[in-house]
Amino acid sequence: MKQPELGEHISEIRKERGYTQSELAQECNVDIRTIQRIETGEVTPRLFTLRIINEKLGTNFDVNGNSKNNGIEGSKTIIRTGWISGIIFYFFVPLLIFEAISYTHADFSLSSWPVSILILYNVVHFVVVFVFFRSIFFVGKYTRNTLIKAGAILSIFILLVLNTFKTIGIISDTSFSVAIHLILGSLVGITNVILGIGFVLTRFKKELSIATGAILIFNGLSFLHSGVVGIILWSVSLIMLIIYLNKFEKLMA
Give the integer Cα–Cα distance in Å for 113 and 204.
Answer: 44
Whether the model clears a pTM of 0.85, i.e. scores above it, the answer is no
Give the integer Cα–Cα distance in Å for 82 and 85.
Answer: 5
Question: What pLDDT, on a 0 to 100 scale, did the predictor assign at position 150?
Answer: 96
Segment-wise mean pLDDT, segments of 10 residues, the chain, 253 residues: 85 87 87 92 85 82 52 74 94 78 61 78 90 94 88 93 81 69 84 96 83 95 83 90 90 62
Give the integer Cα–Cα distance in Å for 197 and 175.
Answer: 34
DSSP line for 182-218: HHHHHHHHHHHHHHHHHHHT--TTHHHHHHHHHHHHH
Question: What pLDDT, on a 0 to 100 scale, did the predictor assign at position 74?
Answer: 66
Q: Which residues 6+ apart lie within 8 Å of 51 measured at CB?
A: 251, 252
Question: What pLDDT, on a 0 to 100 scale, did the predictor assign at position 65?
Answer: 41
SS3 46: coil
Question: What pLDDT, on a 0 to 100 scale, did the predictor assign at position 102?
Answer: 66
Question: What pLDDT, on a 0 to 100 scale, did the predictor assign at position 174?
Answer: 67
Give the integer Cα–Cα distance in Å for 239 and 227.
Answer: 19
Run of H or E residues at 74: helix 70-90
Cis status of the peptide bond prior to 45, with omega within 30 of 0: no
User: How crowded is the C-beta side of 105, counted as CA atoms within 13 Å?
Assistant: 8
Question: What pLDDT, on a 0 to 100 scale, did the predictor assign at position 67?
Answer: 39
Any idea what DSSP says for residue 68?
G
Domain at 5-68, CATH from 3.90.1150.10, 1.10.260.40, 1.20.1440.130, 3.40.640.10: 1.10.260.40
Question: What pLDDT, on a 0 to 100 scale, did the predictor assign at position 64?
Answer: 56
Q: Which residues of 51-64 are buried (b: 16+ CB within 10 A; e: fewer)?
A: bbbeebbeeebebe
| Short-list 101, 127, 99, CA closest to 113 | 99
Q: Which residues 6+ apart lie within 8 Å of 248 measured at CB?
A: 79, 139, 204, 205
What are the CA-CA distances from residue 236 to residues 94, 211, 227 (Å)?
A: 13, 11, 15
Question: What pLDDT, on a 0 to 100 scale, did the predictor assign at position 55?
Answer: 81
Question: What pLDDT, on a 0 to 100 scale, did the predictor assign at position 204?
Answer: 72
